[in-house]
């Protein structure tokens, strides 16, 4: 396989930010994987003329080469439509190639190569003519390792936060008191008689949830919070089932503040639009019952956290 050397795109010298952009091993492998993909696409583009564009004519000239996906056109109109469709598909392939070539991640690669060409007065070490590694495979391995490190770090941070919350004087009752003091419109919370459960009513949504603290052993603190619907013998509606499914799949099941804010986000569900399609109901007339924690929320150290959630249709997730 021939290794492609990029053409110089401009006469500027890459700055410090471009050099540092290529210092990360993950970034280097990602760039190499994209270069490998570019080369593969270049070989594909070489087949566009005449083979690619004239593919619908092949079974006409040689019926033995007809396939299920490329049969002899029965009429001139069908042949014309097939040629038009093939041309559009090839143009789309060229556009995807151009998009990959102009990828911002590769900009620093082109500039780095150009800088080395200038430094060597146009003399570059010639490649061997083949790739030594499949960089898309190597990139996946590195990305998986990076994700594992990130997940481990998040678990450690969450465990430390959990320990800190459990050690706060007043425990979950303090969290409950802070939530009640905020006076969230349309939300009512009351403690149950067992001392480890809460009833959370969403007035506008017409739903009441039972939040029960799980105690792993007598005398131990609550380890997590379970949510069910407090409906008595009434059959649950599809809306209630969808909300319970989302609440049950949440992260931070030990965090009562997180759960109360998540339940509260359903308070205006009948009038809240989906953040993705900006519609109240989707094509199936379903409300946005999914809740995703809004990213990049800022919390002040020492103060009670308030979580914000985005509403999504299941079809938009």
Digit-coded pLDDT (tens) for 195-228:
889 999 999 998 999 999 998 888 788 889 999 9
Task: Give the pLDDT mean for 158-171.
Answer: 71
Whole-number Å distance between alpha carbons of 158 and 24: 27
Instruction: Give the pLDDT band of residue 126 (cuts 50, 70, 90).
Output: low
Is residue 6 assigned to a domain? Answer: no
Evaluate whether 219 touches 202 at the Cβ level (below 8 Å).
no
Q: What is the CATH number of the domain that holds 220?
A: 3.40.50
Instruction: Say if residue 285 is in the same domain as residue 193.
Output: yes
Return the SS3 of 163. helix
Whole-number Å distance between alpha carbons of 33 and 140: 10
Instruction: Say if residue 200 is in the same domain as residue 249.
Output: yes
Number of domains in the chain: 2
Instruction: Say if residue 115 is in the same domain as residue 176.
Output: no
Shortest CA distance to 51 belongs to which of 70, 73, 64? 70
Is residue 7 assigned to a domain? Answer: no
Boundary of a domain, candidates 132, 161, 183: 132
Instruction: Say if residue 307 is in the same domain as residue 175.
Output: yes
Is residue 77 assigned to a domain? Answer: yes
Instruction: Show the tokens assigned to 79.
Output: 């042949």
Is residue 4 assigned to a domain? Answer: no
Instruction: Say if residue 28 is in the same domain as residue 119.
Output: yes
Is residue 195 assigned to a domain? Answer: yes
Instruction: Say if residue 174 is in the same domain as residue 305.
Output: yes
Residue 124's pLDDT is what? 67
Is residue 218 assigned to a domain? Answer: yes
Instruction: Say if residue 191 is in the same domain as residue 298.
Output: yes
Whole-number Å distance between alpha carbons of 273 and 312: 8
Residue 187's pLDDT is what? 95
Work out the burial of residue 260: count CB atoms within 10 Å of its CB; fewer than 13 is exposed, 13-18 middle, 19 or more buried. Answer: buried
Instruction: Say if residue 119 is in the same domain as residue 184.
Output: no
For the ranges 6-15, 49-58, 297-306, the maximum mean pLDDT occurs at 297-306
Instruction: Give the pLDDT band of residue 180 (cuts 50, 70, 90).
Output: very high
Instruction: Say if residue 193 is in the same domain as residue 108.
Output: no
Residue 12's pLDDT is what? 38
Work out the burial of residue 240: count CB atoms within 10 Å of its CB; fewer than 13 is exposed, 13-18 middle, 19 or more buried. Answer: buried
Instruction: Say if residue 101 is in the same domain as residue 213.
Output: no
Residue 310's pLDDT is what? 95
Instruction: Say if residue 110 is in the same domain as residue 54.
Output: yes
Which residues span the domain enclosing 174? Answer: 170-312
Instruction: Say if residue 174 is in the same domain as residue 294.
Output: yes
Is residue 146 assigned to a domain? Answer: no
Q: With a threshold of 0.85, does the pTM exceed it? A: no
Question: Would the pLDDT of 21 be above 90?
Answer: no
Boundary of a domain, candidates 83, 105, 132: 132
Is residue 159 assigned to a domain? Answer: no
Boundary of a domain, candidates 132, 162, 184: 132
């Amino acid at each position: 396989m021939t290794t492609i050397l990029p053409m110089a795109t401009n006469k500027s010298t890459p700055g410090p930010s471009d050099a540092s952009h290529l210092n990360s091993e993950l970034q280097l492998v990602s760039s190499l994987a994209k270069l490998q993909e570019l080369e593969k696409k270049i070989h594909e583009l070489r087949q566009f003329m005449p083979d690619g564009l004239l593919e619908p004519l092949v079974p006409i000239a040689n019926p033995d080469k007809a396939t299920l996906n490329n049969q002899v056109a029965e009429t001139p109109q069908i042949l014309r439509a097939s040629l038009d469709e093939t041309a559009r598909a090839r143009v789309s392939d060229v556009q995807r190639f151009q998009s990959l070539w102009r990828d911002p991640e590769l900009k620093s690669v082109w500039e780095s190569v150009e800088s080395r060409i200038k430094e060597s007065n146009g003399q570059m070490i010639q490649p061997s003519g083949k790739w030594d590694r499949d960089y898309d495979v190597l990139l996946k391995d590195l990305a998986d390792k990076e994700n594992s490190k990130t997940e481990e770090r998040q678990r450690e941070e969450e465990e430390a936060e959990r320990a800190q919350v459990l050690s706060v004087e007043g425990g979950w009752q303090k969290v409950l008191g802070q939530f009640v003091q905020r006076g969230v419109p349309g939300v009512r919370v009351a403690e149950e008689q067992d001392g480890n459960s809460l009833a959370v009513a969403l007035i506008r949504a017409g739903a009441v949830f039972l939040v029960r603290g799980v105690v792993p052993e007598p005398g131990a603190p609550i380890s997590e919070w379970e949510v069910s619907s407090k409906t008595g013998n009434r059959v649950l509606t599809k809306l209630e089932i969808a909300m319970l499914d989302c609440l049950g799949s949440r992260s931070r099941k030990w965090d009562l503040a997180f759960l109360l804010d998540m339940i509260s986000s359903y308070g205006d569900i009948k009038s809240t639009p989906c953040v993705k399609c900006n519609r109240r109901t989707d094509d199936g007339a379903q409300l946005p019952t999914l809740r995703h924690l809004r990213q990049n929320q800022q919390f002040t150290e020492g103060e009670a956290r308030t979580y914000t959630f985005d509403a999504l249709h299941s079809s938009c997730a």
